[in-house]
Amino acid sequence: MTELMVRDVVASHGPTTVLHGVDLDVAAGTTTAILGPSGCGKTTLLRVVAGFHRPDAGTVAIGGHPVVAPGVLVAPEDRGIGYVAQEGALFPHLSVEQNVGFGLPGRDRGRAARVTELLDLVGLPREVGRRRPDQLSGGQQQRVALARALARRPRIVLLDEPFSSLDAGLRTSTRRAVADALAAEGVTVLLVTHDQDEALSFADQIAVMEAGHVRQVGSPQEVYAAPTDRATAAFLGDLVTVPGTSREGVVDCVLGRLPAVGSVEGEVEVALRPEQVVLGAPVDGSAAAVVLHSDYFGHDVLVHAQLDDGSTVMSRVVGGVDLPAPGQRVGVTVTGPVLAYPLT
């Protein structure tokens, strides 16, 4: 069942059109990440869904009921939406318990029980409830913000880059705790982010945006392995490119004759991920290259090498054990199908 439907949404900031006929469907109980560079319109789209920004045209429906349509504009508080801003936006003068329970009616036992339930759900000790937001870490503050957004049992939770201000280690643990809490509540989630790793690891579906348009929608595996255009491919991660010729699903290039995704014919730009590039001893049938240098990231290493025709490739090596040294001659082979895009 489709929980959120966006159709032909156009939105502007003053004289500048930011969204150009955006379409998006989000299934109930799933998480969709809107991924794109700064200024592409992703936060504006989130604010249109939330009811904080009135679009120029288009429709938005939640649970099959229009909240934006010709002659229809449902107020934000009546849309059944929870919203978590980038900085959490907690009330600094209220305790954690008061922040979480702010939108709940009454002061009875049921209200207190719901607050306790939510603190447990987001993995916060109950004694944290008596503290103020400035007595919490950044990750704890974001968990409190999520608990507050879930308090009234919304149909949809909107997350506006909620982990961007956290350091790398805290970002990962907080993201996992938030994902577990959202799954436990069974809500539909729309996440805005410019972090590719975050989108790929957090979401069931990714909508890639560029310049106010949704370029591609699909599972993380689909958009990473088979991006529809070269710009999307480059945005989603490191890319190795060489010229080639495509014919009937096969490309010929300096890396050899390789199977290709798509049906582009003629002169193309061949694109592949560094993890598809394998460096080893030179053997018959492999391309030859000389290692230039390596970028060490701890969990993996990116090895740069120059092919005999002068072009360069990158190979992602997990673990960084027995790396080829700069100046060493190696053979280059490719695993899996590659991408082929028309030359522009």
Which amino acid, 292?
A: L
Q: Is residue 273 domain-shared with residue 169, that is, in the same domain?
A: no
Q: Among residues 230, 258, 276, which one ends one of the domains?
A: 230
Q: Which residue has the higher pLDDT, 310 or 263?
A: 310
Residue 264's domain comprises 238-342
Tell me, what's the pLDDT at 30?
96
pLDDT in tens, 188-214: 999 999 999 899 999 999 999 999 999
Tell me, what's the pLDDT at 175?
86
Q: Is residue 221 domain-shared with residue 265, that is, in the same domain?
A: no
What's the average model confidence in pLDDT over 16-40?
A: 96
Q: Is residue 267 domain-shared with residue 335, that is, in the same domain?
A: yes
Q: Is residue 247 domain-shared with residue 223, that is, in the same domain?
A: no
Tell me, what's the pLDDT at 233?
93
- Give how many domains the chain has, as a whole number: 2
pLDDT in tens, 133-174: 999 988 888 889 888 989 889 999 999 988 887 787 778 888
Q: Is residue 69 domain-shared with residue 215, that is, in the same domain?
A: yes
